[in-house]
Chain A
Amino acid sequence: MSHPGFLLSVWPWRSVAYLLTGAVTGAAALVVIVTVTAVSGALAIVLVGLPLLVVVALSGIPVAWVERRRLRLIDRDPAVGQHQEPAAPGLWPWLTTRLREQATWRELGHALLFAGLLWPIDALVVTVALLFPVSMVATPLMMATVGDGHETKVLKQWTITTWPTAFGVAVLGLLLMGLCCYVLGIAAGARAELTRLLIASREGELDAKVVELARSRFRLVDAFEAERRRIERDLHDGAQQRLVALTMALGLARLDAPPGPLADQLAKAHEEAGKALAELRELIHGIHPKILADYGLEAAVADAADRSVVPVDVDLELPGRPPQAVESAAYFVVCEALANVAKHSGADRAQVSGGHRDGRLFLQVRDDGRGGAEPSAGSGLTGLGDRVSVLDGRLALSSPPGGPTLLLVEFPCELTKAADRSV
């Protein structure tokens, strides 16, 4: 509004439109609310009116809806309602959700305030701020028409009899009109701010944005996990099966082949196919270990410990299964940690322990190696740290030179009961 072009811009008109429509909808809201309340009050005696009272309680919702849309006339920021999604479709869940949440009652309060107090103010501001300057500007016209060129009254108060005075008043009116545009702008702005405060706070929006961002991060992680599983399945059901069939065919051919160069060639081909199969198996295991999907984290960690070159003691007990994304991130952290132990630590023994306490899954990988591990040195832990933080988890590493190295990771999560596997 401090912009010099304000008076010539569309904003004064928008302000007028906002206040005018406000007066109209406010009056309409007043009529509807009073009518419904009166009718339901009267019918409450015969119990039919009680559901209507619920309608009165909910009347803030449509009013707030209209108000939020009307806000766009004057406010560029989108206004979002603070209602929650009902847990289930249907009228009853919707009704119980709405009656229980604070936003509904805020909106009812707003509707009552709007219908009782705000719309007359809107109307008053528009009337005064438009009527005064317009009637002053129109003074010469009034004098020429209604007053027959002799006299007219400005704002029904002061009698004017000469043309210079009439034009003077008109000029004053123009100045006043400019001033009133500012008044209208301020009034509309204040009204919009009040509405936003009552039924669509900006903080709420920010929270909603943060929640939405966090959700989209989770969705990305989930999509990533789903993709890993898809690739694993495709490789397993396609390439791997064909390679097995190939080694089988080659194995049978070897039985048939008479000793000689052909048998040697076959033996070589058979061996190569076997190697390819073993490599593919390791690759698939690295993409998404099946044991993790089938038996969960405990078994998968035990399996990783089995594969480790350094002997690993496992002490991990979970009463249920964490969400898939957490399970998989935790597993890969342990694998990476064990790989680092084998590659860099020079340890004789490592230990993986963990559990679930106070809504957090935590895991510890400890070794008795020489320490000095540095996550920033590209030990593969940096990437894992990112993956852990996406799930709101934390990864901590303590590795003083000379050892021992201790890696801690924890995730906030709830465990679900392991599905009954006997079914």
Chain B
Amino acid sequence: MLAEDSVLLREGLIGLLSRCGNEVVAAVGDAEALVAAVEEHAPDIVVTDVRMPPGFQDEGLHAAVRLRETRPTLPVLVLSQYVQRTYASELLDSGDGSGVGYLLKDRVGQVEAFVDALHEVADGGTVVDPEVVRQLLRRRRDPLERLTPREREVLALIAEGKSNGAIAKELVVSEAAIGKHISSILTKLDLPPTDETHRRVLAVLTYLRS
């Protein structure tokens, strides 16, 4: 399911997605058509642009938020021309924050990373563009001040949508060490142990709101 108003990009994305073994059930050009098409096709994941007709403001983002109000489990990946915390947090606040992704449009050029992110979101993960994460890293404020630099690094990678294994590979440590870091992060952020994935999302949300 794809919503993008630029024909050029829409065709490109369709090509890219079908090449990587995904089926695009519908491709639409504006926010209203997006809502209608979701009703009709019940897709596994929605990929949408932020700026869409008719107003060319943030219609795509708001259509996504509205869709998640009625279908909290519908995975949505939002592509934006600009990376901003405000857009990301609005999206992440919809539902419980799981199964959403917020990526810079530039990322579709990095085909493999983009497809990975798409699958991560479709599986209920949370993906935030590294650019947003980078901006947020500059603002070290509570409650994140309690975290060690290494823990913040791990949390940033969780926010980018990486699995424990991927984080371990990136930081060149064992997966068990990452697990330890994560449980320490969750304790420091006052996230009592319930469901593991859910707490990861909450940690990301805390991180984004800091």
B110 touches A290 (CB 8 A): no
A residues less than 8 Å from B81 (CB atoms): 236, 240, 281, 284, 290
Look across to chain A and name the residue whose beta carbon is closest to the beta carbon of B7.
A241
A244 touches B16 (CB 8 A): no
| Chain A: minimal CB distance from B194 (Å) | 30
A294 touches B12 (CB 8 A): no
Residues of chain A from 246 to 262 with CB closer than 8 A to chain B in the complex: 247-252, 254-255
Say yes or no: is B22 at the interface (Cβ < 8 Å to chain A): no
A residues less than 8 Å from B105 (CB atoms): 240, 244
Residues of chain A from 266 to 290 with CB closer than 8 A to chain B in the complex: 270, 273-274, 277-278, 281, 284-285, 289-290
| Residue of A241, A250, A293, A307 touching B109 (CB-CB under 8 A) | A250
Q: A242-B8, A252-B15 are in contact. Are A289 and B111 (CB under 8 A)?
A: no
A residues less than 8 Å from B152 (CB atoms): none
Query: What is the CA–CA distance of A89 and B32 in the complex, to the nearest angstrom?
Result: 37
A residues less than 8 Å from B112 (CB atoms): 255
B82 touches A285 (CB 8 A): yes
B122-143 interface bits toward A, Cβ cutoff 8 Å, 1 = contact, 0 = none? 0000000000000110111000
| Residue of B57, B85, B139 touching A293 (CB-CB under 8 A) | B57
Query: What is the CA–CA distance of A421 and B19 in the complex, to the nearest angstrom?
Result: 37
Residues of chain B from 73 to 98 with CB closer than 8 A to chain A in the complex: 81-82, 84-87
Say yes or no: is A291 at the interface (Cβ < 8 Å to chain B): yes
Which range contains the number of A residues in contact with the other chain? 35 or more
| Chain B: minimal CB distance from A313 (Å) | 8
A311 touches B139 (CB 8 A): yes
Query: What is the CA–CA distance of A244 and B79 in the complex, to the nearest angstrom?
Result: 11
Say yes or no: is A17 at the interface (Cβ < 8 Å to chain B): no
Q: A233-B56, A241-B6, A422-B62 are in contact. Are A302 and B85 (CB under 8 A)?
A: yes
Q: A244-B109, A251-B109 are in contact. Are A290 and B82 (CB under 8 A)?
A: yes
Query: What is the CA–CA distance of A251 and B110 in the complex, to the nearest angstrom?
Result: 6
Number of A-B contacts (CB under 8 A): 97
Say yes or no: is B9 at the interface (Cβ < 8 Å to chain A): yes
B residues less than 8 Å from A255 (CB atoms): 111-112
Look across to chain B and name the residue whose beta carbon is closest to the beta carbon of A312.
B139
Query: What is the CA–CA distance of A355 and B20 in the complex, to the nearest angstrom?
Result: 50
Say yes or no: is B13 at the interface (Cβ < 8 Å to chain A): yes
B residues less than 8 Å from A293 (CB atoms): 57
Q: A248-B109, A255-B111 are in contact. Are A241 and B85 (CB under 8 A)?
A: no
Residues of chain B from 147 to 168 with CB closer than 8 A to chain A in the complex: none
A248 touches B84 (CB 8 A): no
Say yes or no: is A306 at the interface (Cβ < 8 Å to chain B): yes
Say yes or no: is B44 at the interface (Cβ < 8 Å to chain A): no
B residues less than 8 Å from A179 (CB atoms): none
| Chain B: minimal CB distance from A157 (Å) | 88
A residues less than 8 Å from B200 (CB atoms): none
Say yes or no: is B108 at the interface (Cβ < 8 Å to chain A): yes
| Chain A: minimal CB distance from B75 (Å) | 21
A residues less than 8 Å from B13 (CB atoms): 248
Say yes or no: is B170 at the interface (Cβ < 8 Å to chain A): no
- Residue of B112, B139, B140 most packed against chain A (CB within 10 A): B139
Q: A237-B6, A273-B109, A277-B109 are in contact. Are A307 and B82 (CB under 8 A)?
A: no
Look across to chain B and name the residue whose beta carbon is closest to the beta carbon of A255.
B111
A274 touches B109 (CB 8 A): yes
B residues less than 8 Å from A285 (CB atoms): 82
Look across to chain A and name the residue whose beta carbon is closest to the beta carbon of B59.
A294
B57 touches A303 (CB 8 A): no
B136 touches A306 (CB 8 A): yes
Q: Write the residues of chain B forming the contact surface with A, with a CB cutoff of 8 angstroms.
A: 6, 8-9, 12-13, 15-16, 19, 51, 56-58, 62, 66, 81-82, 84-87, 104-106, 108-112, 135-136, 138-140
Q: Write the residues of chain A forming the contact surface with B, with a CB cutoff of 8 angstroms.
A: 233, 236-237, 240-242, 244-245, 247-252, 254-255, 270, 273-274, 277-278, 281, 284-285, 289-291, 293-295, 299, 302-303, 305-309, 311-312, 421-422
Lowest 9 CB-CB distances: which A-B pairs, in order? Answer: A247-B109, A251-B111, A241-B6, A299-B86, A306-B135, A251-B109, A294-B58, A248-B12, A245-B8
Can you list 12 A-B pairs with a CB-CB distance of less than 8 A? A244-B109, A245-B6, A251-B108, A251-B109, A252-B15, A270-B109, A281-B81, A281-B104, A284-B81, A285-B82, A294-B58, A303-B86
A242-B8, A244-B109, A294-B58 given; name 8 further pairs at CB < 8 Å.
A251-B16, A278-B106, A281-B81, A281-B104, A290-B57, A299-B86, A421-B62, A422-B62
